[in-house]
Chains A and B, each alone.
Chain A
């Protein structure tokens, strides 16, 4: 399938000498949700800003639906909606006026019916005549999404869409993103909330120090890099591990009451049966046991640390 966004050898060095992006290559499929994870200053916003035309690339190229973002900027920008990280809105505009402005700016003729439906979907219809300065932070965030969607874009960039919003609104946002994807919109979101990527993304890209460390299917990523742990609570604490358990490389907690076995769940033999047999033979009595799966967060932290 042809990529809707294709990034080739993209680099950006700012006037001050800071290299924000280093030879980034990325292809985004139509209709997918891609989460770009990375710490502050990793280059996420720079990457988005270049695609949207706000920042000039130092080298490399980007195409949107086959159109170059520099030579054919009218085509590419009319296909893109951007929700910026900051709540950048004119204080005295009304919700309706600001959405109408955005639609016109992106070259679309007025369509009050579409805007009404959009505002209803965003639960903002009742506020259409309100001045933006009177809205709560969550509502302003939704207005920004409305502005980005006002010209019916095929690709939506969400730059830290849930930064500083409460849990309830965050979940509302996720539901909205899923609905948009169902309507065929390709969504690229940047976040440093792992939970967010884990909840809504199809693919995850990890970016750090301007380098795209990896891009993979979320499940495949967790499958490839995720570890599982078997945690066993002992009925009686032990001072040291018996020698017979040494082949399993167990971790003994400081209080001697818990054993942790880290294993790869995708191998044919995890070693769990043998371990449990050896524990029994070592006369250790288990009080409780549970397994845990590495979260995307742990994978991310390990990748960034490694980088």
Chain B
């Protein structure tokens, strides 16, 4: 194992986040605070409790997931896309590093950054609503698995994209709508029966549901199913990345 390579890639990516501190960390916190102000205070005051949880607290897991998913994808996709775009990827491709080491460096850093953002948002939420986490271990588990899975997904997008438009395409047109329609701001049980069935095809529902359960012990689907879906998604991402590396897709001619 080329641990020096893993370390320098990881450090380089973390340094990039540190140098763009406002964009990396302050921006998601500001966005989340605005969501709390708009949904939690302005709208939330008119909504009764959902399954025994105040609306302001109810949306915290969804808001965290929204930030985690978008940040994981954005961090990881940009991390690998930018060297491809500038041509500096030649150095990584000509170095004595395995694909696993490349993954550990890039995806590890992206997941770490998302994890930090998630924890900052959780702390921010604490200023707006009283929060208690019923199952901290499960919460941490969902948090870490989501960060890793979606960082892997972002890495796939970064490898696939050959221009900036494609880089933004899936996060903006697929992920954001799925998160908004995945029960971030409402319980699936509040939807008409037909839409409840349709919503179950949205994979993000399982993420948010499981994550919300770890906070309040309320969920739209069973926690076991949620965990299974996250693991299936993680496995699928790993499979795609493995295939991309094995074939040299968009990396080696």
Contacts and interface: CB of A to CB of B under 8 A. Distances in A.
A88 B8 contact: no
B8 A86 contact: no
Given A15-B253, A55-B252, A101-B8, A84 B93 contact: no
B91 A104 contact: no
A103 B83 CA distance: 17
Interface in A6-29: 14-15
Interface stretch (B68-76, B94-102, B206-214, B220-228): B94-102
A54 interface: yes
A73 interface: yes
Contacts of B8: 100-101, 103-105
Contacts of B15: 97
Interface in A200-221: none
Nearest to B98: A74
Given A74-B2, A88-B86, A105 B95 contact: yes
A105 B88 contact: no
Given A77-B94, A84-B90, A89-B88, A56 B5 contact: no
Q: Give the size category of A's interface with B.
A: 35 or more
A94 to B, nearest CB: 10
A203 B8 CA distance: 37
Of B4, B19, B248, most buried by chain A (CB within 10 Å of CB) is: B4
B7 interface: yes
B145 interface: no
A107 to B, nearest CB: 5
A102 interface: yes
A73 B2 CA distance: 12
A104 B4 contact: yes
A91 B83 CA distance: 11
A147 B12 CA distance: 15
A212 to B, nearest CB: 20
A303 B105 CA distance: 48
Contact of B96 (A14, A74, A90, A91): A74
A97 B5 CA distance: 14
Interface in B1-42: 2, 4-5, 7-9, 12, 15, 19
Contacts of A100: 8
A107 B94 contact: no
Contact of B5 (A54, A80, A89, A107): A107
A89 B83 CA distance: 9
Interface in A51-76: 52-56, 73-76
A51 B93 CA distance: 12
A52 B92 CA distance: 11
A86 B9 CA distance: 22
Given A55-B253, A105-B97, A90 B88 contact: yes
Of A73, A74, A90, A101, most buried by chain B (CB within 10 Å of CB) is: A101
B253 A53 contact: no
14 contacts: A15-B253, A49-B253, A54-B252, A77-B94, A84-B90, A88-B88, A92-B19, A97-B15, A100-B8, A104-B7, A105-B8, A106-B5, A107-B95, A107-B96
**5 closest A-B pairs (Cβ-Cβ)?**
A104-B8, A88-B87, A74-B96, A77-B96, A52-B94
Interface of B: 2, 4-5, 7-9, 12, 15, 19, 83, 86-88, 90-97, 248, 252-253
Given A77-B96, A91-B86, A109-B4, 13 more contacts: A53-B252, A55-B253, A73-B96, A74-B96, A78-B96, A82-B94, A84-B87, A90-B83, A90-B86, A102-B91, A103-B4, A105-B8, A105-B97
